[in-house]
Amino acid sequence: MKKKVLVVDDSAFMRKVISDLVNSFDKFEVITTAKNGKDAIDKIKNLLPDIVTMDVEMPEMDGITALKIIMKENPLPIIMLSSITKKGADATIKSLELGAIDFITKPSSIFKVNTEDTKKELLEKLEVASKIKYTKNSIYNKPIYKEKLQNLSSFARGSKNIEKIIAIGTSTGGPRALQSVVPNIPGDINASVLIVQHMPKGFTKSLADRLNSMSELEVKEAEDGDVLETGKAYLAPGDKHLRLKKSRSGFVISLEQTELVSGHRPSVDAMMNSIAELKIDNVIGVIMTGMGSDGAKGLEKVKKEKGFIIAQDEDSCVVFGMPKSTIERKVVDVVVPLDRIAKEIINAMEV
């Protein structure tokens, strides 16, 4: 039986294009369309779709406002359609925080709408969404909260004398998961945090800014040549690998637009491999929700260099692929729910 999809967009052209794409897939069919958030809420109540694709910016009621109401009243998997603008990127990060499962970047011109890349991306995200079961108590639509953790011993923030490197990799469901982990890491931690989140160019800056506003850590989108400092987190920019190198000034970030690694750029494996190559034993590797297996090979190498590996458990993942692949390699030290990852990082700091 085909999964029922509701397509929401204020553009009649986009409604037609997205509907045609969805209807070209064997497992999915569009049951109706809606032209704004208010229209979508009414149709969800009456027609009970399995999945919704929703534009972020619409008149009368935008996608963010509609998303809040839907997640409260009739939670279900929602894939956002976003423009690559500062406003669009900020709104997209907000939508993921509120419980949207993922997003697709709107093509920059009508000539790029029906490409194989768009079709492949939409199908992948619909298939992920179709496996998610929402309830009113689902973890996906619980509010994100910050838990006060006991402070570690104080030291001068911004030191290049780093005790540990915390390396985090994630994909589908990651922006929301990161908002449950990063803000719960104390700002006075004697470590630097490196993050790879599979996300296109134009969106990672908004995610870094949002994490920074929630956190005691200073969170920024990584720049080529950044020297790691304690109490700071560095998020790989979209479309660039983040690799770590050692120099006389300390640990230095190298951003590279080289070939895809494990199917991605930025890639978790690319980051973890570069860390393992430094042959340092003060690494805490964290693998969280995401489709596929990116990160598993790299974390195996980190483990061989005496790294400590934390994986998110299946129940709290949106997609268990990346943690599962890592666990199967028998390199994981602890498997914990999302809300315990920050505590495990702090426990590992004390080892």
> What residue type is assigned to position 83 of the chain?
S
Copy the structure tokens of residue 130. 């179709």
Length of the chain: 351
Residue 133 and residue 318: Cα distance in Å, rounded? 10
Through-space distance between the first and last CA atoms of the chain, rounded to whole angstroms: 52
Residue 122 and residue 125: Cα distance in Å, rounded? 5
Q: Which of 171, 180, 215, 267 is catalytic?
A: 171
DSSP-assigned beta bridge partners for residue 269 = none
Q: Which of 39, 55, 180, 198 is catalytic?
A: 198
> b/e per residue, 165-186, with b = 16+ CB within 10 A?
bbbbbbbbbbbbbbbbbbbbbb
Active-site residue, 264 included: no
Q: What is the largest CA-CA distance in the chain?
A: 64
Q: Which of 50, 294, 316, 325 is catalytic?
A: 294
Contact 61, 38 (CB under 8 A): yes
Identify the CA nearest to 178 among candidates 214, 152, 132, 205.
214
Question: Angle at Cα 263 formed by Cα 111 and Cα 29, nearest 5°?
Answer: 50
What would the DSSP string read from start to end of 130-198?
HT----TT-GGGSPP--PPPPPPPP--TT-S--SEEEEEEE-TTHHHHHHHHGGGS-TT-SEEEEEEE-
> b/e per residue, 79-99, with b = 16+ CB within 10 A?
bbbbbbeeebbbbbbbbbbbb
Active-site residue, 294 included: yes
Which residues are designated catalytic?
Answer: 171, 198, 294
